[in-house]
């Protein structure tokens, strides 16, 4: 049973990691359309700009810039956005795990198979595993989409460096807590992980 | 359980103290309780500053330079030769602009990009050009000349708003960049 859950966890992490990588695939769009008459005409007229000798260059640039800015819409599905929503999701799941009803603790004897099964299938356990998977996906997507924001030379107090450090530490703590559950002491590691992830989000919010 | 709780308390304190250092310039509680986004640069909220700067060029947010740089840039003598132009203004307006720029400078802001500018600028340095800041140079060093200098619709890094479509709001992230004539610039 435990093996099956571990397999499920690994599969979930891999799926989420692959999902974060797909953010990049979505950004490049392949245009397979034939150039239409309208397209050709507009590209021709935009090429005309350099030949309009009497036009004030500064005005042209300004006007072009304004219209271009009005047309431009930032893409919704980007690596950066994905990382943001995964991070917020992780913090939300960590809070849900902390407040979810926990199965009764068995301290003085070994749990029976039925009790182990009940513990594994409790809402608290399911949310904990989901938090760990989402934390791993958050770190993976952060490394992919923000790899050029980390510079060790900037030191520990650089907001991005601190964010990465706390995010990775929090994620590891959550995963360690899940691997140690339902053993004693996993709660502390899980809470630390959740707080570290929360502070990491706040630092770059 | 008690041992665990004390560990959590200690670690939480360490984390919070650590974060305090990262935002040391501002009121920590104010920052902690502010749920607004502070990821970029604080947008300009002084109409006079906006209008006076915009008369000649893009109104750069004060959070793009440290206070010591604004001190050097915004005085009567410096404005007589403002990057080759005479940009003199009356004393009262200059005082308003100067005070606003210094109060919202990069080293006094808790906005993330301003903090990054502060961290990457040596304390002894008094950079006068935003484009010469180590952080800005590093962020743009992989962009070829053909997209900036040799691009007739960009010309120079100084024209932030030619590529950063939300520069006026203080947003300079990659998702809002659109380089004229190079729609697939990041491929």
pLDDT in tens, chain B (187 residues): 556 666 666 666 666 655 555 554 456 777 777 788 888 999 999 999 999 999 999 999 999 999 999 999 999 999 999 999 999 999 999 999 999 999 999 999 989 999 999 999 999 999 999 999 999 999 999 999 999 999 999 999 999 999 999 999 999 999 999 999 998 887 7
Chain B residues near residue A155 by CB distance under 8 angstroms: 119
Q: In this model, does residue A29 exceed pLDDT 80?
A: no
Chain B residues near residue A72 by CB distance under 8 angstroms: 165, 176, 178
Residues 79-108 of A with CB under 8 A from B: 80-81
Instruction: Report, as an integer, the average pLDDT of A93-97.
Output: 96
Q: What are phi and psi of B153, to 5 degrees?
A: -100, 5
Q: Judge if B114 and B163 occupy the same domain.
A: yes
Q: In this model, does residue A154 exceed pLDDT 70?
A: yes
Tell me, yes or no, whether B73 lies in a domain: yes
- What is the structure's pLDDT at A3? 52
Domain count for chain A, please give it: 1
Tell me, yes or no, whether B181 lies in a domain: no
Give residue A125's domain range: 2-25+76-203
Tell me, yes or no, whether B155 lies in a domain: yes
Tell me, yes or no, whether B40 lies in a domain: no
Closest CB to B175: pick one of A80, A156, A160.
A80
Q: In this model, does residue A37 exceed pLDDT 50?
A: no
Give residue B121's domain range: 47-176
What is the secondary structure of chain B as a DSSP string? -HHHHHHHHHHHHHHHHHHHHHTTTS-HHHHHH--S--SS-PPP--HHHHHHHHTTS----GGGS-HHHHHHHSSHHHHHTBTTB-----HHHHHHHHHHHHHT-GGG--SHHHHHHHHHS-TT-----GGGSHHHHHHHTTS-GGGTTT-TTT-STT-HHHHBTTGGGT---GGGB-BTTBTTTT-
Residue A131 contacts B, CB cutoff 8 Å: no
Q: Are residues A166 and B15, on separate chains, in Cβ contact within 8 Å? A: yes
Q: In this model, does residue A89 exceed pLDDT 60?
A: yes
Tell me, yes or no, whether A70 lies in a domain: no
Residue B166 contacts A, CB cutoff 8 Å: yes
Give the whole-angstrom CA distance, residue B176 versus residue A179: 40
Residue B56 contacts A, CB cutoff 8 Å: no
Lowest mean pLDDT among A37-41, A179-183, B173-177: A37-41
Whether ipTM > 0.85 holds is: no
Tell me, yes or no, whether A82 lies in a domain: yes
pLDDT bracket for residue A139 (50, 70, 90): very high
Q: What are phi and psi of A183, to 5 degrees?
A: -65, 160
Tell me, yes or no, whether B93 lies in a domain: yes
Closest CB to A74: pick one of B21, B176, B187.
B176
Residue A154 contacts B, CB cutoff 8 Å: yes
Tell me, yes or no, whether A136 lies in a domain: yes
Q: Judge if B29 and B52 occupy the same domain.
A: no
Instruction: Report, as an integer, the average pLDDT of A75-90.
Output: 93
Tell me, yes or no, whether B187 lies in a domain: no
Tell me, yes or no, whether B186 lies in a domain: no
B168 → chain A, closest CA residue = A69
pLDDT bracket for residue A45 (50, 70, 90): very low
Domain count for chain B, please give it: 2
Q: Are residues A159 and B11, on separate chains, in Cβ contact within 8 Å? A: no
- What is the structure's pLDDT at A96? 96
Q: Are residues A192 and B12, on separate chains, in Cβ contact within 8 Å? A: yes
Q: Judge if B26 and B62 occupy the same domain.
A: no
pTM of the model: 0.74
Q: Judge if B77 and B129 occupy the same domain.
A: yes
Q: Are residues B178 and A159, on separate chains, in Cβ contact within 8 Å? A: no
Tell me, yes or no, whether A194 lies in a domain: yes
- What is the structure's pLDDT at B36? 84
Chain A residues near residue B155 by CB distance under 8 angstroms: 61
pLDDT bracket for residue A13 (50, 70, 90): low
Q: Are residues A74 and B5, on separate chains, in Cβ contact within 8 Å? A: no
Tell me, yes or no, whether B39 lies in a domain: no
Question: pLDDT higher for A120 or B168?
Answer: B168
- What is the structure's pLDDT at B18? 59
């Amino acid at each position: 049973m435990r093996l099956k859950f571990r397999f499920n966890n690994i599969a979930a992490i891999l799926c989420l990691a692959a999902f974060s990588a797909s953010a990049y695939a979505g950004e490049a769009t392949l245009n397979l359309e034939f150039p239409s008459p309208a397209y050709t005409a507009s590209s021709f007229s935009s090429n005309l700009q350099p030949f309009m000798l009497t036009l004030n260059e500064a005005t042209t640039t300004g006007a072009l810039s304004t219209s271009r800015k009005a047309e431009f819409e930032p893409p919704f599905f980007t690596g950066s956005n994905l990382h943001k929503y995964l991070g917020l999701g992780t913090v939300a799941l960590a809070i849900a795990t902390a407040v979810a009803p926990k199965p009764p603790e068995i301290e003085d004897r070994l749990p029976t198979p039925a009790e182990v099964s009940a513990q594994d299938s409790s809402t608290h356990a399911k949310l904990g595993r989901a938090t760990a998977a989402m934390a791993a996906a958050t770190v993976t997507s952060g490394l992919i989409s923000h790899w050029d924001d980390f510079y060790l030379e900037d030191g520990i107090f650089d907001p991005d460096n601190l964010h990465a450090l706390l995010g990775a530490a929090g994620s590891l703590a959550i995963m360690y807590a899940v691997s140690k559950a339902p053993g004693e002491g996993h709660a502390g590691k899980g809470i630390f992980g959740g707080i570290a992830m929360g502070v990491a989000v706040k630092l770059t919010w | 359980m008690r041992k665990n709780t004390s560990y959590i308390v200690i670690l939480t304190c360490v984390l919070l103290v650590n974060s305090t250092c990262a935002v040391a310039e501002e009121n920590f509680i104010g920052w902690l309780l502010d749920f607004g986004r502070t990821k970029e640069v604080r947008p300009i909220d002084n109409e006079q500053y906006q209008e006076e700067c915009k008369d000649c060029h893009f109104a750069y947010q004060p959070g793009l330079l440290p206070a010591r740089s604004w001190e050097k840039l915004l005085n009567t003598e410096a404005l007589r030769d403002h990057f080759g132009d005479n940009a003199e203004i009356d004393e009262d307006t200059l005082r308003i602009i100067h005070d606003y720029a210094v109060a919202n400078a990069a080293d006094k802001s808790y906005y993330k990009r301003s903090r990054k500018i502060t961290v990457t600028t040596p304390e002894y340095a008094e950079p006068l050009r935003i484009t010469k800041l180590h952080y800005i140079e590093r962020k743009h060093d992989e962009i070829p000349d053909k997209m900036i200098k040799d691009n007739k619709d960009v010309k120079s890094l100084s024209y932030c708003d030619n590529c950063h479509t939300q520069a006026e709001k203080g947003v300079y992230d990659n998702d809002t960049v659109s380089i004229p004539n190079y729609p697939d610039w990041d491929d």
